[in-house]
Amino acid sequence: MQDAFSHAFLNLDRLDDPARFEGWLRQILVGTAHKRTRRLVLFKALQPASEPIDFDDWPSPSASPETRAELVRLMTAVQRLPATERLIFVSRRLEGMTVPEIAESCDVSEATVKRRLGDAVERLTAWGVLS
């Protein structure tokens, strides 16, 4: 996030319409995350297999054991999605972005967003995470 905010600050003069600030900033945030994800995928391809991410400490301690277990199961499954599907699924289902916002942020067509979102949902459903 720090990289994205730094980029936004340094390029604030490129924002043509101040009313579009939120979408402009979101596009920078998603673009930065997408670039980092691509770099991470490339880096991991060069590294030996590592341990999976431990989500056990991620949910709030005040959450019920059932809720904690469900969140851990969901996030573990989401980590298994291909990077492009994961980015779109998280943007839509967790961040609440619209399909046009995601398309603009990821520099892909709305049809591509819908297809990747559908593929992610299909995978998660097949894995028994979504119903």
pLDDT at 55 over 60: no
- Read off the pLDDT band of 105 (50, 70, 90): confident
Amino acid 1: pLDDT: 75
Amino acid 49: pLDDT: 42
Q: What is the pLDDT of residues 77-103, one digit of tens each?
A: 888 899 889 888 988 887 778 899 888
Amino acid 40: pLDDT: 61
Average pLDDT over residues 5-19: 87
pLDDT at 56 over 80: no
Amino acid 91: pLDDT: 84
pLDDT at 50 over 60: no
pLDDT at 57 over 80: no
pLDDT at 42 over 50: no
**Cα dist from 124 to 73, 103, 118, 121, 129, whole Å:** 11, 21, 10, 5, 5
Q: Which domains does the chain have, with CATH numbers?
A: 2-50+81-126 (1.10.10)
**Rounded Cα–Cα distance for residues 114 and 71 (Å):** 24
Q: Cα 63 to chain center, whole Å? A: 23
Prediction pTM value: 0.57
Lowest-confidence region among 46-50, 86-90, 100-104, 124-128: 46-50
Tell me if 53 sits within 8 A of 79, measured CB to CB: yes
